[in-house]
Amino acid sequence: MSAYKIAIVDDDAKIREIVSAYLNKEGYRTFALSTAEEALALWKRESPDLWVLDINLPKMNGYDFCRQIRKETEVPIIMISARDEEVDRILGIELGSDDYLTKPFSPRELVARVNRLFYRLRTLHPQAGDHRPLPVQKLQLELDDLKLVIEERQVFWRGKEINMTAKEFTLLRTLLEQPNRAFSRDELLTLVWGADYFGSDRAIDDLVKRLRRKINELPIETVWGHGYRLRVQGEEEQI
């Protein structure tokens, strides 16, 4: 069975090369393109399973390309841009993108988001696509001494399994999927408890305390007045 096909559309050759290398290592098949016009030709020929799409492309930009393919397909799209304005992110979502990354970004974070999109697609709509196997790496997250096995909801620290509640696992997975990103308490409440939760945001503080008790050296860092992040030293170069 063939691997999932991912198209990377960016006019920066370095970004295309690095992103392709990281995704190839995960077991995906990639196509690297520099313009939306090349992307349209590929779309008709290969029908990629996911697009990593830069907004600021020459001639036809990423927004216009997204509009065009959304007329015919709901294939997942991750938009990337040097612009971090809220209006740009909202426009991307309104046009049908599934995720949005701001440059510079970590290639490992992009891989985590790609994996998560495919996982959601296969679990929420198993009848919608073919039955190609997900890459083995798709089912687990690893970072230094920490490892999460997603389907089994297992957590390992330095090879030893740590018992976790459902909420503890969800919080840890959320932080691990985007290392070094500062999440607000409100964001974490929504991601862990759901949008309908109306309790105190101190519930997140209590959950973090429990995680720290279970793994003393877990690098969860408090971002004062905001929330938390999983601090990772020596991250790879951002692109």
User: What percent of the chain is predicted at pLDDT more than 70?
Assistant: 86
Domain coordinates in residue numbering, the chain: 5-134, 139-230
In contact, 54 and 10? CB cutoff 8 Å: yes
User: What tens digit of pLDDT does each residue of 118-133 get?
Assistant: 877 776 555 444 445 4
The answer to whether domain 139-230 has CATH 3.40.1390.30 is no
User: What tens digit of pLDDT does each residue of 62-107 get?
Assistant: 999 998 888 888 889 999 988 766 677 777 777 788 888 888 888 8
Query: pTM for this structure?
Result: 0.59
pLDDT at 237: 56
In contact, 30 and 73? CB cutoff 8 Å: no
Give the pairing type, strands 77-81 and 227-230.
unpaired
In contact, 102 and 81? CB cutoff 8 Å: yes
Rounded CA-CA distance 36/58 in Å is: 8
DSSP type of residue 157: E
Fold category of 5-134 in CATH = Rossmann fold (3.40.50)
Mean pLDDT of the chain: 83
Q: Which long-range contacts (CB under 8 A, 24 or more apart) does 181-188 make?
A: 181/109, 181/229, 182/223, 182/226, 182/227, 182/228, 182/229, 183/227, 183/228, 183/229, 184/226, 184/227, 185/226, 185/227, 185/228, 186/227, 187/227, 188/227, 188/228
pLDDT of 37 over the 90 cut: yes
Q: Which helix (H) or strand (E) holds 221?
A: strand 220-223
User: Span 37-51, mean pLDDT?
Assistant: 92
pLDDT at 1: 40
pLDDT at 172: 92
pLDDT at 27: 86
User: Span 40-65, mean pLDDT?
Assistant: 91
User: What tens digit of pLDDT does each residue of 162-181 get?
Assistant: 999 888 998 998 888 888 88
User: What tens digit of pLDDT does each residue of 181-220 get?
Assistant: 888 888 888 888 876 666 777 889 999 999 999 999 999 9
User: What tens digit of pLDDT does each residue of 138-162 get?
Assistant: 457 777 789 888 778 889 999 999 9
pLDDT at 38: 95
